[in-house]
Amino acid sequence: MVYTWLQTLDWPADDNISKDDVGVTFLELYANFTIVMGAQLPVTVCRKGSRLVWEHFDSASAHLQPKRSRAAIAQAVVVDSIVKQIEKAIGLKLLIVKKK
Protein backbone atom coordinates (compact mmCIF):
# COMPACT_ATOMS: atom_id res chain seq x y z
CA MET A 1 0.00 0.00 0.00
CA VAL A 2 2.84 2.42 0.83
CA TYR A 3 4.58 1.62 -2.46
CA THR A 4 1.34 2.38 -4.35
CA TRP A 5 1.04 5.68 -2.49
CA LEU A 6 4.68 6.58 -3.22
CA GLN A 7 3.90 6.25 -6.92
CA THR A 8 1.25 9.01 -6.58
CA LEU A 9 3.82 11.55 -5.38
CA ASP A 10 5.06 14.03 -7.94
CA TRP A 11 8.24 15.96 -7.22
CA PRO A 12 9.31 19.13 -9.05
CA ALA A 13 12.39 19.06 -11.23
CA ASP A 14 15.56 20.24 -9.47
CA ASP A 15 15.71 23.36 -11.64
CA ASN A 16 12.22 24.41 -10.44
CA ILE A 17 13.15 24.41 -6.74
CA SER A 18 14.19 27.69 -5.15
CA LYS A 19 17.05 27.89 -2.64
CA ASP A 20 14.54 28.95 0.03
CA ASP A 21 12.36 25.85 -0.37
CA VAL A 22 12.56 23.84 2.85
CA GLY A 23 11.07 20.73 1.27
CA VAL A 24 8.50 18.33 2.67
CA THR A 25 8.55 16.80 6.16
CA PHE A 26 7.74 13.22 6.99
CA LEU A 27 4.83 14.58 9.04
CA GLU A 28 3.42 16.14 5.85
CA LEU A 29 4.01 12.87 4.00
CA TYR A 30 2.14 10.99 6.74
CA ALA A 31 -0.82 13.38 6.45
CA ASN A 32 -0.80 12.98 2.67
CA PHE A 33 -0.69 9.17 2.97
CA THR A 34 -3.66 9.16 5.35
CA ILE A 35 -5.73 11.43 3.08
CA VAL A 36 -4.81 9.83 -0.26
CA MET A 37 -4.95 6.20 0.83
CA GLY A 38 -7.72 6.55 3.43
CA ALA A 39 -5.78 4.25 5.74
CA GLN A 40 -3.58 4.38 8.81
CA LEU A 41 0.02 3.27 8.99
CA PRO A 42 0.98 0.61 11.51
CA VAL A 43 2.14 1.53 15.01
CA THR A 44 5.62 0.63 16.23
CA VAL A 45 5.05 -1.57 19.29
CA CYS A 46 8.66 -2.48 20.01
CA ARG A 47 12.17 -2.48 18.67
CA LYS A 48 14.34 -5.60 18.71
CA GLY A 49 17.81 -4.38 17.82
CA SER A 50 17.49 -2.77 14.41
CA ARG A 51 14.21 -4.63 13.74
CA LEU A 52 10.91 -2.85 14.34
CA VAL A 53 7.75 -4.71 15.29
CA TRP A 54 4.55 -3.10 14.01
CA GLU A 55 0.88 -3.68 14.67
CA HIS A 56 -2.19 -2.40 12.83
CA PHE A 57 -3.13 1.10 14.05
CA ASP A 58 -6.48 -0.07 15.48
CA SER A 59 -5.26 -3.35 16.98
CA ALA A 60 -5.45 -4.12 20.70
CA SER A 61 -1.62 -4.20 20.85
CA ALA A 62 -1.42 -0.72 19.35
CA HIS A 63 -4.01 0.63 21.80
CA LEU A 64 -1.89 -0.65 24.70
CA GLN A 65 1.05 1.50 23.58
CA PRO A 66 1.62 4.97 25.03
CA LYS A 67 -0.37 7.67 23.24
CA ARG A 68 2.83 9.10 21.78
CA SER A 69 3.29 5.85 19.79
CA ARG A 70 0.09 6.58 17.91
CA ALA A 71 0.73 10.31 17.61
CA ALA A 72 1.19 11.88 14.19
CA ILE A 73 4.87 12.63 14.78
CA ALA A 74 5.53 8.97 15.64
CA GLN A 75 3.60 7.98 12.51
CA ALA A 76 5.86 10.27 10.49
CA VAL A 77 8.83 8.23 11.73
CA VAL A 78 6.99 5.08 10.59
CA VAL A 79 6.68 6.60 7.08
CA ASP A 80 10.43 7.12 7.00
CA SER A 81 11.11 3.57 8.20
CA ILE A 82 8.71 1.93 5.74
CA VAL A 83 10.06 3.93 2.80
CA LYS A 84 13.64 2.97 3.71
CA GLN A 85 12.66 -0.71 3.87
CA ILE A 86 10.93 -0.54 0.48
CA GLU A 87 13.93 1.24 -1.04
CA LYS A 88 16.25 -1.44 0.33
CA ALA A 89 14.01 -4.26 -0.93
CA ILE A 90 13.70 -2.94 -4.48
CA GLY A 91 17.14 -1.33 -4.68
CA LEU A 92 15.76 2.02 -5.80
CA LYS A 93 15.78 5.44 -4.13
CA LEU A 94 12.15 6.63 -3.87
CA LEU A 95 12.53 9.77 -1.78
CA ILE A 96 15.52 11.96 -2.52
CA VAL A 97 16.57 13.80 0.62
CA LYS A 98 18.75 16.78 -0.15
CA LYS A 99 21.52 17.77 2.21
CA LYS A 100 21.74 21.52 2.87
Give the pLDDT confidence of 78-100 residue by residue, as tens digits: 888 888 888 899 998 887 665 55
pLDDT digits (tens, 9 = 90+) for 4-23: 888 888 877 766 677 777 77
DSSP SS3 for 8: coil
Q: Do 50 and 14 touch, CB atoms closer than 8 A?
A: no
pLDDT for res 60: 80
Q: How many domains does the chain have?
A: 1
> Is residue 46 in some structural domain?
yes
Which residues lie closer than 8 Å to 75 by C-beta, 6 or more apart? 30, 40, 41, 43
Q: Which domain holds residue 49?
A: 2-12+22-90
Chain segment 32-67, per-residue pLDDT in tens:
988 998 988 888 777 777 777 777 777 787 777 777
This prediction's pTM: 0.67
- Rounded to whole angstroms, how far apart are CA atoms 89 and 86? 5
- Specify if 97 maps to a domain: no
- What is residue 61's predicted lDDT score, i.e. its pLDDT? 75
User: Could you tell me if residue 96 is inside a domain?
Assistant: no
Quote the CA–CA distance of 63 and 38 in Å, as a whole number.
Answer: 20
Domain annotation covers residue 99? no
Task: Give me the pLDDT at residue 97, please.
Answer: 62
Kindly state whether residue 98 falls inside one of the protein's structural domains. no
The verdict on residue 78 lying in a domain is yes
Alpha helices in 1-100, H assignment, sequence order = 2-6, 26-37, 60-63, 67-70, 72-90
